[in-house]
């Protein structure tokens, strides 16, 4: 099987849809000799910030000379971005080889009349086999959507379970209250396995405390009162956490809290870290400065928690500028609430349709935006939206007004934004 055939097979698997539950992926992994239990694993769940926390953790371990495997989703650029070792994506030939090994196992399950694994479950098996093959020292593992029934929730005993910011998203699967969602994500906990949490809202922390007690765990919650913010710019921040000063290269107050969560995890596990590694971290599409002329940022704010974080960042940095938005979202998100929050800030909005089967059409998004901003344009391509945004930016410059372009929404298009 070559890479093209492998991707055709994954596309065919994907058309079968998905059913929540760990039975099929556990059966698949058992028949592959349980590769998920051969490596040390830090398991990270949450609604927003998982990727940033994992990136900070990866940087600290790689600074010590460790080989680190990462399994991430969604991706910004290519399919194979989800399987990484020390930041390098898996090669096409490796994916084809691993899928060639897995496919007969899936076929065997089908012959026995067993429930078959989904595309994401097969990808998860590929990831674990790859990390064993690459002899990584550590796997930093992100949940896909929830926790309790997520395909990644198959590791017998992680080094640590980490909880990023937990909020409202994927309600059709995880529950319609933040407490229900937190309960689902807490399902990755294991008996006597350390727990570290981002400074979540009180109702989330209460759920995590209750679930930790059932597993004989005393959880570590990052406390905002122990964080002193020294400076924030579009290129990074300085802060003190528990009396120690740190610098990070990511913008946004929430990134300070993500960094503190990663620091707390690392210190809990082995009591040491290299501070300089944090300042070298880059994580694309998270309040990222794309260019200075025109002043252009992109942010993967694709749910209400992300939109609220973006709102605060815009208020902090751009109160005296005309804001030009480029927006593309998925139809199963709370996009009307996001528009209500953010679009009154905008002087101009360009809508587009992301490249996803779940995408909201640009025309429908345009209608939602019009309630809050009348100067709204609809585009059938990312290139068209960027071109219009830059044109409007230039018009503001000619009239002597300062402006900023901010592309935000679904990660399925954010990776195409190059400024």
Summarised one tens digit per residue, pLDDT across range 187-197 is: 999 999 999 99
Task: Tell me what pLDDT residue 402 has.
Answer: 97
Same domain, 77 and 56: yes
Question: Residue 292 forms beta bridges with which residues?
Answer: 295
What is the number of alpha carbons within 13 Å of residue 141 lying toward its C-beta? 30
Residues 205 and 316 in one domain: no
Question: Kind of pairing, strands 346-351 and 376-378?
Answer: parallel
**Average of per-residue pLDDT values in the chain:** 93
**Which of 250, 354, 350 is CA-nearest to residue 309?**
250
Last residue of a domain, one of 228, 259, 279: 279
Which element (helix H / strand E) includes 346? Answer: strand 346-351
Whether residue 182 contacts residue 208, with contact meaning beta carbons closer than 8 Å, is answered with: yes
Distance CA 284, CA 282 (A): 6
Q: Quick one: pLDDT at residue 285?
A: 83
CA-CA distance, 370 to 224, in Å (whole number)?
A: 37
CA 359 – CA 211 distance, rounded (Å):
35
| Res 357: pLDDT | 86
In this structure, is residue 8 part of a structural domain? Answer: yes
- Shared domain for 315 and 377, answered yes or no, is yes
d(CA 166, CA 205): 10
Residue 105 resides in a domain: yes
Domain boundary among 246, 279, 312: 279
In a domain, 10, yes or no: yes
Average pLDDT (14-43) is 91
| 101 and 64 within one domain | yes
The domain containing residue 263 runs over which residues?
Answer: 3-279
- Total tally of structural domains belonging to the chain: 2
At residue 282, the pLDDT reads 87
Same domain, 346 and 380: yes
The reply to whether 419 falls in a domain is: no
Cut 0.85: pTM above it: yes
Cα 220 from Cα 115, distance rounded (Å) = 38
Q: Check whether residue 248 and residue 314 sit in a common domain.
A: no
DSSP state at residue 130: H
Residues 266 and 306 in one domain: no
**What is the spatial distance between Cα 161 and Cα 220, in angstroms, rounded to a whole number?**
11
Q: Say yes or no: 251 and 368 in one domain.
A: no
Give the least confident one: 171-185, 254-268, 332-346: 171-185
Q: For position 109, what pLDDT does the model report?
A: 95
First to last CA, the chain: 38
pLDDT-derived band at 16 (thresholds 50, 70, 90) equals: confident
**Residue 409 is assigned to a structural domain of this protein:** yes
Q: 126-158: buried (b, 16+ CB within 10 Å) or exposed (e) per residue?
A: bbbbbbbebebebbbbbbbbbbbbbbbbbbeeb
CA dihedral 60, 63, 69, 72 (to 10 degrees): 50
For 27, the token pair is: 């059966």
Q: The CATH number of the domain where 209 resides is what?
A: 3.40.1190.10
For the stretch 45-56, pLDDT in tens is 999 899 999 999
**88 and 192 belong to one structural domain:** yes
In this structure, the answer to whether residues 407 and 350 fall within a common structural domain is: yes
- Residue 197 within a domain: yes
In terms of domains, do 37 and 181 share one?
yes
What pLDDT does 187 receive?
Answer: 95
Domain at 345, CATH number: 3.90.190.20
**166 belongs to a structural domain:** yes
User: Based on the domain organization, do 194 and 260 belong to the same domain?
Assistant: yes
pLDDT digits (tens, 9 = 90+) for 61-94: 999 999 999 999 878 789 999 999 999 999 999 9
Mean pLDDT of 19-44: 94
Residue that is last in its domain, among 262, 279, 296: 279
Q: Could you give the CA distance from residue 249 to residue 234 in angstroms, rounded to a whole number? A: 9
Dihedral (Cα; 179, 180, 182, 183), 10-degree rounding: 120
Q: What pLDDT digit, counting tens, does each position of 323-377 carry?
A: 999 999 999 888 999 999 999 999 999 999 998 888 999 999 999 999 999 999 9
Asked, for residue 218, whether it belongs to a domain, the answer is yes
The answer to whether 79 and 161 are in contact (CB under 8 A) is no
């Amino acid at each position: 099987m070559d890479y093209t055939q492998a991707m055709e097979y994954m596309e065919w698997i994907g058309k079968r849809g998905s059913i929540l539950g760990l039975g099929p992926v556990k059966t698949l992994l058992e028949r592959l000799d349980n590769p998920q239990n051969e490596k040390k694993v830090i398991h990270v769940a949450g609604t927003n910030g998982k990727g940033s926390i994992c990136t900070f953790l990866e940087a600290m371990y790689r600074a010590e000379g460790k080989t680190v495997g990462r399994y991430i989703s969604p991706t910004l650029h290519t399919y194979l971005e989800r399987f990484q070792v020390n930041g390098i994506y898996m090669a096409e030939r490796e994916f084809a080889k691993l899928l060639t090994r897995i496919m007969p196992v899936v076929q065997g399950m089908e012959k026995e009349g067993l429930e078959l694994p989904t595309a994401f479950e097969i990808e998860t098996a590929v990831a674990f086999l790859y990390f064993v093959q690459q002899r990584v020292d550590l796997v930093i593992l992100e949940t896909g959507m929830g926790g309790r029934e997520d395909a990644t929730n198959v590791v017998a005993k992680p080094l640590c379970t980490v909880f990023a910011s937990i909020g409202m998203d994927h309600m059709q699967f995880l529950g319609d209250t933040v407490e229900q969602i937190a309960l689902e994500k807490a399902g990755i906990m294991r008996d006597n396995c350390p727990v570290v949490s981002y400074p979540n809202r009180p109702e989330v922390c209460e759920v995590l405390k209750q679930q930790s007690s059932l597993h004989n765990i005393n959880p570590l919650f990052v406390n905002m009162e122990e964080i002193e913010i020294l400076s924030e710019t579009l290129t990074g921040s300085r802060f003190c956490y528990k009396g120690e000063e740190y610098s990070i290269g990511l913008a946004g107050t929430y990134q300070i809290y993500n960094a503190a969560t990663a620091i707390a995890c690392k210190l809990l596990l082995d009591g040491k870290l290299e501070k300089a590694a944090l300042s070298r971290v880059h994580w694309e599409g998270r309040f990222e400065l794309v260019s200075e002329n025109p002043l252009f940022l992109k942010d993967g704010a694709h749910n209400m928690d992300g939109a609220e974080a973006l709102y605060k960042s815009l208020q902090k940095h751009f109160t005296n500028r005309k804001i030009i938005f480029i927006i593309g979202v998925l139809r199963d998100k709370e996009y009307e609430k996001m528009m209500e929050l953010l679009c009154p800030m905008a002087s101009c909005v360009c809508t587009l349709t992301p490249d996803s089967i779940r995408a909201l059409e640009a025309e429908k998004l345009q209608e939602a935006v019009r309630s809050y901003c009348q100067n709204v344009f609809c585009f059938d391509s990312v290139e068209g939206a960027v071109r219009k945004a830059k044109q409007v930016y230039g018009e503001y410059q000619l009239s002597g007004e300062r402006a900023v372009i901010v592309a935000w929404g679904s990660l399925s298009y954010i990776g195409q934004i190059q400024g």
